[in-house]
Amino acid sequence: MKHSAFFLWTFSLLRILLGWHLLYEGLVKLTTPGWSSAAYLKISDGWLSTVFHGIAENPTLLQWVDWLNMAGLTLAGLTLMLGLVYRVAALAGAFMLLMYYMAEPSWMALSAAGNSLWISKTFIEAAMLTMLAFVPGKYMFALDNLWGMKFRKQDTSAKPAEGESDGNTRRKAIGQLMGLPFLGLFSYAYLQRQRKNSWEEKALGADGSSSATIKTFEWKDISELKEQVPHGKIKNLEVSRLIMGGNLIGGWAHARDLIYVSKLVKAYNSDEKVIETLSMAEACGINSLITNPQLNRIITKYWKQAGGKIQFISDCGIFNDLQKGIDTSLESGAHACYIQGEMADQMIRNGEYDAVAKAVEYIRNQGLPAGIGAHELCTVEKCVELGIRPDFWVKTLHHHNYWSAQPGGEEHDNIFCRHPNETIAYMNALTEPWIAFKVLAAGALEPKDGFPFAFNHGADFICVGMYDFQIVENSNLVVDVLKNVNGRLRPWCA
């Protein structure tokens, strides 16, 4: 019986396309510096979550699982495309995809891929691979079939199939090589993407006047960490000198008139990526995160599901109601609270001095360090004048030596510390710990410029929003800066 060309082409193309996807996923993991499945395993909430959490907490086991992920996907994808031991490759690929599905099943919660009402794209792909593993070779163009054809040719007693000539046999043999052109196309596309990425990295050099962007992109792995970030104290709370900022995690990105940036940040920082970022920060010795209580969901998820220990310092800036912001922060397990900078500025401008004092006292009565934030120096000055002394200050600090700075002009999301010299002089006289924020002027300054400026001029801690690929480099820089503090007049208050 003559096999239908429809089945041959359909099953062969399906196998090649599935192999293409697996091969790409494997190569991406292999070529991504520092890639690890740890974050994905830590947030697992499926039936096997206990097993996955155990793997993530065991460095040796995690290393093996990471290697199996990268090698397994790459080899399964390659052999599927070629049709070489494709049944084994299909079953191996299906098994790996089912493990991904079990780690974050779509029937339990909103997963990284969305809530798909039980059946997700991962499950569908695993089902197709399982089906392919049982498709007879006669319905498939595959390198595996060349071996069978070779043996049949050597068997002189075997009779040719009805209607089969030497020409048909040669055409069938050529058909078994169907995966090779697709593999060549894949290689071309992959190399083109790599060349494009490399060209973009070289092309995106620093602006000659602002030095706002680095000339090359270098991802530093955790293995390149010099040493963990030093810590200080705010009352009885031990806090890392470099504090993680929550703006980039929450999607509140200052980007001047680039209105798409906040959406881009949110798209990048999925739950899995946030978990991975916070885990990286803790590995570098960064033990505290300053953010809005709106992020209590992901912080709680990180604590409970990923076993994270990072401390939550809340700015209480939610609901436009300070009391509700404080209470929400306390319910979310905040380790310290302060009045958010813009909120404190507004309250002082409006003469709500008593409300500021009561908020600080209320936080203290809950057993937490209480702080006051400010963008404007006059906010700090008025609080001190009135005798409102918090346990710590959160005040902006950066210089104006960047191209978009326009001191004295209309504010366009470009200056966050309008009087840096006056701020430095005034804060030098205060005895409470000072967390400086906006030390990079929302991305206008390089860390190698902004970090020393803050520490050398009196800041005890700096709060910086960071992507995962910046954390190790920034941590190393803080370690170096703190070892070489130059010209600091203010005593370390923590």
Percentage of the chain modeled with pLDDT above 70: 82
pLDDT over threshold 50, residue 475:
yes
Which pLDDT score, from 0 to 100, does residue 109 have? 45
pLDDT band at residue 141 using 50, 70 and 90 as cut-offs:
confident
pLDDT over threshold 90, residue 2:
no
pLDDT band at residue 158 using 50, 70 and 90 as cut-offs:
very low
Cα(170)–Cα(350) distance, integer angstroms: 88
pLDDT over threshold 70, residue 484:
yes
pLDDT band at residue 199 using 50, 70 and 90 as cut-offs:
very low
The pairing of strands 237-240 and 231-234 is antiparallel
Question: Per mean pLDDT, which range of 198-212, 437-451, 469-483 is the poorest?
Answer: 198-212
Q: Which residues pair with 233 in a beta bridge?
A: 238
Question: Per mean pLDDT, which range of 179-193, 326-340, 373-387, 422-436 is the poorest?
Answer: 179-193
pLDDT over threshold 50, residue 190:
yes
What is the mean pLDDT of the segment spanning 367-379? 97
pLDDT over threshold 50, residue 213:
no
Which pLDDT score, from 0 to 100, does residue 193 have? 66
Cα(207)–Cα(214) distance, integer angstroms: 9
**pTM to 2 decimals?**
0.62
Neighbouring CB atoms inside 10 A of 427's CB total: 22
Question: Per mean pLDDT, which range of 127-136, 167-176, 194-203, 346-355 is the poorest?
Answer: 194-203
Structure tokens at 194: 């790599």
Which pLDDT score, from 0 to 100, does residue 113 have? 43
Spell out the SS3 assignment of 336-377: EEEECHHHHHHHHHCCCHHHHHHHHHHHHHCCCCEEEEECCH
The most distant pair of C-alpha atoms in the chain lies apart, rounded to whole Å, by: 106
pLDDT over threshold 60, residue 207:
no
Q: What is the gyration radius of the CA atoms in the chain, in angstroms?
A: 29
Which pLDDT score, from 0 to 100, does residue 35 have? 76
pLDDT over threshold 70, residue 163:
no
pLDDT in tens, 64-122: 999 999 999 999 999 988 888 889 999 999 999 988 888 777 554 444 444 456 778 88
Burial class of 418 by CB neighbour count within 10 A (0 to 12, 13 to 18, 19+): middle
In single-letter form, the type of residue at position 183 comes to: L
pLDDT in tens, 401-412: 988 887 665 666
What is the mean pLDDT of the segment spanning 158-166? 50
Percentage of the chain modeled with pLDDT above 90: 47
Q: What is the total residue count of the chain?
A: 494
In angstroms, how far is CA 196 from the centroid of its own chain? Answer: 23
Spell out the SS3 assignment of 438-468: CCCCCCCCCHHHHHHHHHHCCCCEEEEECCH
In single-letter form, the type of residue at position 486 comes to: N
pLDDT over threshold 60, residue 8:
yes
Domains of the chain: 5-193 (no CATH), 222-483 (3.20.20.100)
What is the mean pLDDT of the segment spanning 237-255? 85
What is the mean pLDDT of the segment spanning 267-293? 90
Which pLDDT score, from 0 to 100, does residue 169 have? 60
Which pLDDT score, from 0 to 100, does residue 94 have? 93
Question: Smallest Cα–Cα separation from 336: which of 398, 382, 392, 271?
Answer: 392
Q: With H, G, I as helix, E, B as strand and everything else as coil, classify residue 243.
A: strand
Which pLDDT score, from 0 to 100, does residue 3 have? 52
pLDDT over threshold 50, residue 200:
no
Which pLDDT score, from 0 to 100, does residue 183 have? 81
